[in-house]
Structure 1
Amino acid sequence: MVFEGLAEKLQNTFKKLKSKGKLTEKDVSEAMREVKLALLEADVNFKVVKDFVRKVKERAVGSDVLESLTPGQQVVKIVNDELTDLMGKTESKITFASKPPTVIMLVGLQGAGKTTTCGKLASLLKKQGKKPLLVAGDIYRPAAIKQLQVVGGQVDVPVFTMGDKQSPVDIAKAGIEFGDNQGNDVILIDTAGRLHIDEELMGELQNVKRNTKPHEILLVVDSMTGQDAVNVAQHFNDSLGIDGVILTKLDGDTRGGAALSVRSVAQKPIKFVGMGEKLTDLEPFHPDRMASRILGMGDVLSLIEKAQANYDAEKARELESKIRKQQFTFEDFLEQLEQMKNMGPISQILDMIPGAGGKQLKNLQVDEKELIHIEAIIQSMTKEERQNPSIINGSRRKRIAIGSGTSVQKVNRLIKQFEQTKKMMKQFTDMDKMGKKGGKFKLPF
């Protein structure tokens, strides 16, 4: 879970505050001391922590807060506001050129995931109706050009390359000209990285910038490197002048120090975050939504957007009709599993539900492998068996178990759970009917 350690500590601190009817300045000071430690342990920059705690404390010890009816909630609101402000207040979008093509230069150190991020960003822009082109400008790293071609093929975006014998400047200029002639309205230039920042790297990038005049320079950094990511952002901005940051591997960063420090230290916004390995796992960064998730308030807007992007409205209506008519089958169940998987890991989805990311569901173990087993079992059934599970006798269960690489016990358990789910759906349907008729619903026990 993103920010797992920090989120738990902050939520515990504020739970204690909210349990008190009235707050004193001492209560606030003690809470702020805990907040300070939690942020430092999350690898947030020391100066950022110091400034953040000072701002929160100044607002929290005012008479409007301490003398209010809900002082604990008021303090949480202040922290939420300041966290949002710390990460950039509002979403920072790409500035597109008034006259296409928009040229975007992606820079960063080796290992940050720059080439893959090129593909992810191209995929995201395609969904927004853009026609991107990828330009292979990394002529040094072995197989970098081939990797970009593979990534481009996976997201169905063309890749411009001149091999590794031409200079990065010539490749970038030729790529922009080619894209303009082909009607591509966004040109994404994948540049070379180094294992560390040096004069040669910066000189080359400055040369590409000078000759291509990109509309956006986006720095790709690995969020899991913590303070190193923040230092890299500061160095690149000082030497090159970046327009924004893309944080990769945020889904694996349980501390979150980079996300909370980059904006304040480098004075440049986080524009996108990588939330997984799939080429669809790049999301616009919303400071307010991230602050809400850290404080256990969830992120309902992102959850709705994910659902809207992955769920077909017409199919949803058909499914509702099937549930009401008791026609829900294993085929429908399999389709729902596929759509749910497209939304991302279940742990991330739970993180977006208010209250679900905190201690309440801390002990809930979400086994993604179990979903794979369920999928395999259903796919090992015949079409007739999926539509009418009652025909699945002993020999059929054994065949399904062998076909799915599981056991008869697992097949039995899934069929039993499925039947229980159908019964529960029937109860909800009956409740809804009784409610509409004004009658009383009697519990079946």
Structure 2
Amino acid sequence: MVLAQLGGSISRAIQQMSNATIIDEKVLNECLNEITRALLQSDVQFKLVRDMQTNIKKIVNLDDLAAGHNKRKIIQQAIFNELCKMLDPGKPAFTPKKGKTSVVMFVGLQGSGKTTTCTKYAYYHQKKGWKPALVCADTFRAGAFDQLKQNATKAKIPFYGSYMESDPVKIAVEGVERFKKENCDLIIVDTSGRHKQEAALFEEMRQVSEATKPDLVIFVMDSSIGQAAFDQAQAFKQSVAVGAVIVTKMDGHAKGGGALSAVAATKSPVIFIGTGEHMDEFEVFDVKPFVSRLLGMGDWSGFMDKIHEVVPMDQQPELLQKLSEGNFTLRIMYEQFQNILKMGPIGQVFSMLPGFSAELMPKGREKESQAKIKRYMTMMDSMTNEELDSSNPKLMNESRMMRIARGSGRHIREVMEMMEEYKRLAKIWSKMKGLKIPKKGEMSALSRNMNAQHMSKVLPPQMLKQIGGMGGLQNLMKQMGSTKDMMGMFGGGGDK
């Protein structure tokens, strides 16, 4: 997850404040100073940070608070709201509609990652059921069309460009016309990189924009320029109607926070952030869930969406059935592993759970755990149906393990390690036994409380504490109220 360091420092500051016995002026100031330091290190503009600090102090007036108030909660809420305000431009971006052709034009500085981002943007929408197409109107840089071609082929997205034509306006118009005929509903035009000092290139950008009449112009920006993002975004905004911004390379360094806040200051909405070079390392940027993940408070709605995306609706009831019976077989483990891999980068998914900060999952570990899951799946491919469907761990004797190790080209030690993992998961799974799963409609308060008590036994203590103990868990259940979401939650419940 992006800005793991920043998120870590802020949540540590809040944690320290929560651990203090009495919350007075001194504790509050210490907490705010910590947060200020973290934000300044992320290259957020000094003025923004100072305003934030004064606003929080205004809101949290410790002397005026009645004795019964939960000061920690109030302070945390104030910090949350101020960070949201800092990142929120106050207006929504244009969203393309399915079935209606939208033209989106990408602009930005040289080397900010436009071509890669174009493909990620197309790929993201393709997964959601759009029909995207890419047009390469970058005739300035050598190899631009090759790069787009390679990316588009990999993601199986139609593309258009030319090695011979040097007029970007002509290519853009031809490409857009062609894809309109082919009924693509999202046409993405990639343009050359340009700098605000280059008047000729800016003029060319205006021409491409006039010729293709894009519904949305997206400004792609490298987050490593920090607060300088403000000037760049302003300059581009003055020449073409920039409707949204995508900030890239958020995984590279500490300046991401400055870039995000600077963009918000220009009143341009950030719609996505690029968090790595791979196709799926691309996240929707939504202020509230983003801040909530930054503070280690998790993002339930995002987590639900991920699960609904991965576990098809028709599979959910049967998974729930197995869950309430409490029988955990290797086949279920295999299916859950498949779901985890489909969800995209593990770190991204875990940072949506309350109590899991991104720092718990170091960069290298994430790749390691993905590789481990794939390894386990290879071993399971060498098992017979009887072995996969049995919930009796004693069935796996030594000779069976030897056979599996030979069949999958692995060491017997690794097969044993996998069986240990299976036993651990089976133990958690068996605790889920007896979950009251309503058939239809809303859950009654009673069964919700039963489930909350059940969940409190299953969740790791540190995560339970972060959610806010038993009370927090019951509130969460209330939020998730409808059965559909409960299903989603427990559909993914075996993935932990």
Secondary structure (helix, strand or coil) at the match of 2:433 reads helix
| Of 414, 421, 428, the match for 1:417 | 421
- Check the 8 A contact 1:230/1:266 in 2, yes or no: yes
1:386 to 382, 385, 388: 388
Q: What is the CA distance between 1:108 and its match in structure 2?
A: 1.7
Map of 1:150 onto structure 2? 150
- Summarize the Cα distance change of 1:313–1:98 in structure 2 as closer, same or farther, 3 Å threshold: closer
The more displaced of 305-314 and 141-150 is 141-150
Q: 1:142 to 1:400 in 2, by over 3 A?
A: farther
- Where 1:243 maps in the other structure, the secondary structure is strand
Flag the 1:429–1:119 CA change in 2: closer, same or farther, 3 A.
same
- The CA distance in 2 between the partners of 1:176 and 1:404, in whole Å, is 49
User: What does residue 375 of structure 1 align with?
Assistant: 377
1:47 maps to 47
Shift in CA distance, 61/420, structure 1 to aligned 2, threshold 3 Å: closer
Shift of 1:253: 5.2
Which residue is 2:320 aligned to? Answer: 320
Deviation at 1:246, TM superposition (A): 0.7
- Provide the residue aligned with 1:233 in structure 2: 233
RMSD over equivalenced CA pairs, Å: 3.6
Give deviations 1:131-151, integer Å, cap 9, x for gaps: 332111112333322332333
Cα distance between partner residues in 2 of 1:107 and 1:92 = 19
> Is residue 346 of structure 2 the alignment partner of residue 346 of structure 1?
yes
Greater shift in the superposed pair: 260-269 or 386-395: 386-395
Q: Which residue of 1 aligns with 2:92?
A: 92
1:140 and 2:147 matched: no
In the TM superposition, residue 161 of structure 1 has moved relative to its aligned partner by: 2.1
For 1:278 and 1:360, the matched residues in 2 are separated by 22
336 and 109 in structure 1: CA distance in 2 versus 1, 3 angstrom threshold: same
- For 1:333, the equivalent position in structure 2 comes to 333
Matches within 5 A, 1:21-420: 23-61=23-61, 65=65, 69-88=69-88, 92-96=92-96, 100-193=100-193, 198-251=198-251, 256-258=256-258, 260-323=260-323, 328-357=328-357, 367-368=368-369, 369-388=371-390, 392-420=396-424
Identity rate, percent: 31
Q: CA deviation at 1:409?
A: 1.1
Residue 21 of structure 1: CA displacement? 6.2
Letter in 2 for 1:137: A
Q: Map 1:418-437; keep pairs closer than 5 Å.
A: 418-422=422-426, 424-426=428-430, 428-429=432-433
Alpha carbons of structure 1 residues 349 and 11: separation in structure 2 relative to 1, 3 Å: same
Q: Provide, for residues 254-288 of structure 1, a one-character-per-residue CA deviation record: whole Å limited to 9, x for no partner.
A: 65324542333332110112244443443321101
2: CA distance between counterparts of 1:45 and 1:72? Answer: 27
Structure 1 residues 361 and 74, CA gap change in structure 2 (3 angstroms): farther
The superposition leaves residues 271-309 of structure 1 with CA deviations (integer Å, 9 ceiling, x where unpaired) of: 112244443443321101111112221111111111111
Structure 1 distance, partners of 2:327, 2:68, is 54
- Aligned in 2, Cα 1:215/1:420: closer, same or farther, shift over 3 Å? closer
Q: How far 1:85 sits from its partner (Å)?
A: 1.4
CA-CA distance at 1:98 after TM superposition: 12
Contact preservation (8 Å) 2:293, 2:299 = yes
| Alpha-carbon distance change, 337 to 95 in structure 1, aligned in 2, over 3 angstroms | closer
Flag the 1:218–1:390 CA change in 2: closer, same or farther, 3 A. Answer: same
Q: Distance in 1 between matches of 2:308 and 2:48?
A: 36
Q: Which amino acid aligns with 2:112?
A: A
Q: CA deviation at 1:423?
A: 5.2
Aligned residues: 438
What runs of 5+ residues in structure 2 fail to find an aligned partner? 438-445, 458-496
String of CA shifts for 1:178-218, please: whole Å, max 9, x gaps: 22222223221011125896334323212212332222110
**In structure 1, distance between residues paired with 2:100 and 2:432:** 53
1:356 counterpart SS class:
coil
Aligned AA (1:350): F
SS in 2 for 1:296: coil
Does the 8 Å contact 2:228/2:259 carry over to 1?
Answer: no
Q: Secondary structure at the match of 2:16?
A: helix
Please report how far the alpha carbon of residue 245 of structure 1 lies from its aligned counterpart in structure 2 after TM superposition: 0.7
TM-score after normalising by structure 1: 0.84
- Residue aligning to 1:4: 4
Calculate the TM-score normalised by the size of structure 2.
0.76
Amino acid at match of 2:319: L
Match of 2:315, SS state, is: helix
1:90 touches 1:286 (CA, 8 Å); kept in 2?
Answer: no
Cα distance in 2, alignment partners of residues 23 and 398 from structure 1: 60
